[in-house]
Structure 1
């Protein structure tokens, strides 16, 4: 049976050592030795000890850019949902490794700070895309794009954390539902919500008899 790829072996060795010794006490040389590889091989795959822990955010961001770039004005929000799903699927495909990373980053402040910085990169990319899609240079539109991007990232992270804690048996369906809820909060600029059925209540004071007013009120509501 063939050995796993060097990159996978290094990641598995790193997380095993982090569990045994702690993140701060583990060195690059320790990781390479545990994986049965050399220091040069380690740096061929990872730039640093931290890089072993985190997914390749540069590649994920490029995948998002590619998906967004294929959209038209009319399909822009569909592309945003697809891009969010791409990121979630990357974590799901990592399986246990993603869950071990989640536990580790919750314990090490420096790693948590790096994760927050990475999230900001995703939000900035979505904000820039949404602002361009809106095509409105006003400050109000800029704020709206920022709010939309923040909501998109928050929805993804909420579902991702639920899956990492093993609370979500179907994270893909859950993130699709979450994105529909988010995008429903932000109808396309210039659109108006459709009038829904219901009853309109008009309140005012008058000296007229109620029975005499009812036919007039009904005509006003139905117009």
Structure 2
């Protein structure tokens, strides 16, 4: 038997598809789920929260996986933590694709989605920065690496969300993308010489994987140790 929270989520997504996000009220969702308005707000702070019900739990799972890493398994931990996000979306199935459609058409939801992605990136960045020594030089490398990981993940995820690929292909493409990034970064983790010039790259998260990888590789050339 589904929980009240699950019934609210199911009701909300069904109504959003039927009526649209803006035309659906909290009262509509509560009524469809067979509960009162007060019960809705015990489960969710707002209508927006129903769209992203598991974000905090996924971030927690990422942090838990990264916390188990050793110095020699850090890149593996990053890969597996990013995989947790992909698998969560695949498990959601049609609901994830409905959310994708909503975030494309509702600016407030798009902003919420971007904020969620930024939180994922900050989590990876903080972990990588500490792993590489927590220095000023490693801060930039960690920023680039975290950006690249999230971009690579999103490249595969968007293809799945647009129904261009199925679950099995998405996981295979994810493995390929993470393998490529691991090779790209595995020799870039040493301390950068203090007298070397810093290079800053701005990477758009909607860029394709190949262009992001090229940009990161170019930037990281300045960080090679001799």
| Equivalent residue runs for 1:71-220 within 5 Å | 71-138=69-136, 140-169=137-166, 170=168, 171-188=170-187, 189-190=189-190
What CA distance in whole angstroms lies between the structure 1 residues aligned with 2:190 and 2:116? 33
Give unpaired runs (5+ residues) of structure 1: 192-223
- Could you say which structure has the greater relative contact order, defined with CA pairs below 8 angstroms and 6 or more residues apart? 2
Deviations 1:84-118 (A, max 9, x none): 11111111111111110001111001100110011
Divergent runs of 4+, >3 A: none
TM-score, normalised to structure 1, is: 0.79
Deviations 1:157-190 (A, max 9, x none): 1111111111222222221211111121112424
What CA distance in whole angstroms lies between the structure 2 residues aligned with 1:74 and 1:16? 46
TM-score, normalised to structure 2, is: 0.78
Deviation for aligned residue 1:13: 1.5
How many corresponding residue pairs? 188
What CA distance in whole angstroms lies between the structure 2 residues aligned with 1:30 and 1:190? 56
Matched, 1:17 2:18: no
**Quick check: which has more Rg, 1 or 2?**
1
Give unpaired runs (5+ residues) of structure 2: 192-226
Which segment drifts farther, 163-172 or 122-131?
163-172
What CA distance in whole angstroms lies between the structure 2 residues aligned with 1:67 and 1:173? 21
